[in-house]
Amino acid sequence: MIAAIIAAIFTVVMLLTAVLIYPMVSRRITVRSRVHRLMAQEETRPDLFQTPPRWQAFLAELGSKIRLRSSDLFKYRKLISTGGFGTDKVNVFMGGKLFLAGLLPTLYLLFYVIPRGKFEATSLLIAFCMAASGYLLPTLWLDYRVKQRKLEIFHTLPDVLDLLTVCVESGQSLDAALIKTVENHHNQRNPLIEEIDRVILEIRAGRARIDALDGLAERTQVDEVRSFVNMLHQTEKFGTSLGKALRIYSTSQRVKRRQFAEAQAAKTGTKMLVPLALFIFPGLLVVILVPAVINIMAIFK
């Protein structure tokens, strides 16, 4: 009983002390926070180079162990740049190839071969095939990405040319027209818009416009973009009307895009033959022939 009374008195004293001290402590904390906000903060400077994620650093370190010939290195850099990545990602790409080449057979051996105890020549052959597949999968994925990116750039180019034409014919220079085109396009994540934005940044950094546009054609590897860049060079060299040239080229690109769509639509019938032969015709044969077969069997019984 005495212990309970002492504990209650101690609790009441502590609560009263906390109630009395809390306003002073909270006031000091508030004053300190206000003074800290008023004090001059250290100037934060943005990093010139972003720190890559850990997995990229791991793959880059793994890929740096592969010694490529100069021709292979140039080929991979060109392919990676066309896919929308920086040319410094070659080591990351090669590291991904090595990582998948080791991961797939390891998973197969650990989760299928070893638990069942099937150490045979066939298992080793399958593991070797999985290692080769893991080494080739990043290349196949990058080729697919390059094709899709080129196709998206091809379909976006006429719309971008229309915006450029409107801006140039309203009296703006080519640099200002490029800026307005990037700002007013509905899809800022479009690959062509991203590449034009990079051209603008390079021009602002002091690179010549001709060199920046040549870099655009080199990175995209699209014939229509290369022709567009050559047309800009010719208009600047010979002093012809830029707005008129853009309007004519935009019209031609729209015609070319429509012809491409018509060609793809004409191929639809040929592409439908495979699913028809594999999935639809067998079902029709079953529906048509099975009742007839049943009736014939019933007659001969």
183-239 pLDDT per residue, tens: 988 888 899 999 999 999 999 999 999 999 999 999 999 999 999 999 999 998 888
Decide if pLDDT at 34 tops 80: no
Share of the chain above pLDDT 90, in %: 46
Question: From CA 73, how far away is CA 63, in angstroms rounded?
Answer: 12
Q: What is the DSSP letter of 272?
A: T
Number of H helices, E strands in the chain: 14, 0
Domain range annotation of the chain = 56-149, 150-254
Question: From CA 163, how far away is CA 182, in angstroms rounded?
Answer: 9
pLDDT digits (tens, 9 = 90+) for 236-263: 888 888 999 999 999 999 999 999 999 9
Q: What average pLDDT does this structure show over 143-156?
A: 95
Question: From CA 124, how far away is CA 116, in angstroms rounded?
Answer: 14
Decide if pLDDT at 278 tops 80: yes
Of 151 and 69, the one with more pLDDT: 151
Nearest to 152 by CA among 191, 114, 122: 191
Residues 162, 167, 169: CA angle, nearest 5 degrees: 95
Decide if pLDDT at 170 tops 70: yes
- pLDDT at res. 238: 87
The length of the chain in residues reads 301
pTM for the full model? 0.75
Q: What is the DSSP letter of 85?
A: S
Q: Which pLDDT band, with edges at 50, 70 and 90, does 26 fall under? A: low
Compute how many other C-beta atoms are within 10 angstroms of the C-beta atom of residue 157: 23
- pLDDT at res. 46: 47
Instruction: State the fold for domain 150-254.
Output: Receptor-associated Protein (1.20.81)
Share of the chain above pLDDT 70, in %: 83
Decide if pLDDT at 35 tops 80: no
Give just the sign of the alpha carbon dihedral 185, 191, 195, 198.
Answer: positive
